[in-house]
Amino acid sequence: MVLNWRAVLAAIATASTLIEGASTIRVGNHEPGTFSYNRTTFLLNNEAYQIIGGQMDPQRIPHEYWAQRLQMAKSMGLNTIFSYLFWNDLEPTPGDWDFTDRNNVGHFFQLAHDAGLKIVLRPGPYVCAEHEWGGLPGWLNKIPGMAIRQNNEPFLAASKQYIDQLGDVLGKYQITRGGPIIMTQLENEYGSFGSDKDYLNRTANLLRDNFDVILYTNDGGGKSYLDGGSLHDVLAETDGDAQRGFAARDKYVTDPTMLGPQLDGEYYTTWLDVWGSNYTHRQMDAAALKKASSDLDWVLSGKNSFSLYMFHGGTNWAFDAGAIWDKEAAAVATTSYDYGAPLDESGRPSAAYEAFRTTIAKHVPAGSIPKVPAFPPLTTVPKFSFKSASGLFDFKGDSPTASTVYPVTMDSLDQIRGFILYEHTVTEDVEGVLAVGDQPRDRVLVYVNEVRVGVIDRIYKYPATVKVTLKEGDKLSLLIENMARIDAGQRMVEQIKGIVGNVTVGGGESLIGWETYSMPLTELPEGAAEGTDDYEVKDNQQPAFFRGSFELPQGVQNDMSGDTFLSLPNNYKGVVWVNNRLIGRYWAIGPQQSLYIPGVYLNAPGTANEVVLLELEPSTGTEIVGEGIAERKWFNSPDKNLSGK
């Protein structure tokens, strides 16, 4: 029987009733349960329970699609969802909590509960996840004496506020109160960072004050990782290669209070995508798929447990993407967090989905895995044109955010994300290589008298060298884009943005006298899209806003049937807003060449959808066009700004 996908989606949206065995009993009316373990087995209500899990982070998925994504997990044979929470999105400014839209994580857990799925909560406070600063809020940098991820009073005080808030909002979703949460993770791969047991113990106590389910740690399968990241009286688990990880725990963890059943807390489907001309899209080829299926079969045959990282990756919306410090350069995650996962960025199954479903089916009762629900195809949108609207610097404001002798950091201006513009009027002739702060923190667009003369980019170990010739009275402008705070490794400890230090030319004296303009761009500046029809774009001048619009074709709706991928074939680098919603970054160097636009972010046919681009490096005479495509494009292009080593 072929299911009508519109009927399926309507049912999912109301009660998730199409999932076999799904409970529609609300948490408050459900009988409390238990989740425990002995040396070899997890126990759900005193019965053996093998965790067949997958990672899915609600804040990376439109909330309107949560139930559909959960149903797809159930239909692949999963029984447990592992979810990170991103503190920085839940508390964007101190004490300002947001549990709405994609942050309404309690509703996600309720939907999982209705679907008959359990939840493993991974709240941090640090989570990594290739998310901006591993989920830590940028405003932590403003707190005196702050030192993250260690036995530091300011950090633990801020963490307590966060975890207490989670306890208030999410405590009722624990299995002990009739909900789906069966375990909570302590920190995240802490053994890859440090070994501060006082910090781990105090963080564990913060979690225990708010959650009464099992605590566990998750670390790499090696001695140093397990020695540093494990904690007395907390179940120790590993991630990565299951055979290596399980053997490492058996060998190196001897404290009986840390021992229990084996769980591969992150079995990697592939790996993340990062921006780069030479970094190709990660996906599972036939050999990788065969190996992964064999690995999962081995885990399940041994009555052990696993979680796929990722089952469904979703999207790094807006400026949410993080970066890994790799070989003295910032490997910045793309807007797409597809991760080569069984369920792709749009919520549709990849080749891995059916392969893993077949493997799982060998180890669960026959007929217990629901049928895969129908889903609509992606839609296409014919090419549409953009008109130049205005220049970015026209919206810097009538007066600077700060006027100082030396440059100030982004963080000192209470800015977390986006762009910041520094302007200096030259007081004496100078020429030579431009040095921006202690080192380039991100991507710096360099202008002299509003003409772009070069780009310095920290995604390279050796960023391009920019030489300038400045005459008295010239204006030097530095537009810095916060590409991402580093989320992994020791380099993540100090993640202040903007210019940190001073600016010199040719190794001379520091330039003094700066006007700084905060331009976070988390919201589209008022009037940026209107502009004038005669706004002229010129080569090597300021970034420009472009506006365009399209309508969904007849026969689809603003639901999954309206899902599409926005392709911008003639653009180079910038950000996109659709109907005033910041979608994320694009960059021609790839590997990502199209942006996922969920149908629920669009208007029904007959009503225009407004698209605004901020193109950072516009060119004279370039025709700016967009189109909606039904198949994502992945390829790489040269970085036109790269020079030097």
Active site residues: 189, 266
Q: How far apart are CA 183 and CA 119, in angstroms?
A: 7
**Which residues does 286 contact at the CB level (< 8 Å), separation at least 6?**
none
Helices (H), 460-534: none
The answer to whether residues 444 and 407 touch, using CB atoms and an 8 Å cutoff, is no
The partner residues of 239 in beta bridges, in order of sequence, read 220
**Which residues does 520 contact at the CB level (< 8 Å), separation at least 6?**
415, 416, 417, 418, 419
The answer to whether residues 75 and 359 touch, using CB atoms and an 8 Å cutoff, is no
Q: How far apart are CA 93 and CA 142, in angstroms?
A: 11
Q: How far apart are CA 222 and CA 209, in angstroms?
A: 30
Q: How far apart are CA 252 and CA 266, in angstroms?
A: 19
Sign of CA dihedral 271, 275, 276, 281: positive
Q: How far apart are CA 478 and CA 452, in angstroms?
A: 9
> Strands 118-122, 80-84: parallel, antiparallel or unpaired by DSSP?
parallel
The secondary structure of 82-141 as a DSSP string is EEE--HHHH-SBTTB---SGGG-HHHHHHHHHHTT-EEEEE--S---TTBGGGG--GGGG
Q: How far apart are CA 186 and CA 273, in angstroms?
A: 27
Which three-class secondary structure string do you get for 553-620?
A: CCCCCCCHHHCEEEECCCCCEEEEEECCEEEEEEECCCCECEEEECHHHCCCCCCCEEEEEEECCCCC
The answer to whether residues 556 and 375 touch, using CB atoms and an 8 Å cutoff, is no
Which three-class secondary structure string do you get for 390-446?
A: EEHHHHCCCCCCEEECCCCECHHHCCCCCEEEEEEECCCCEEEEEEECCCCCCEEEE
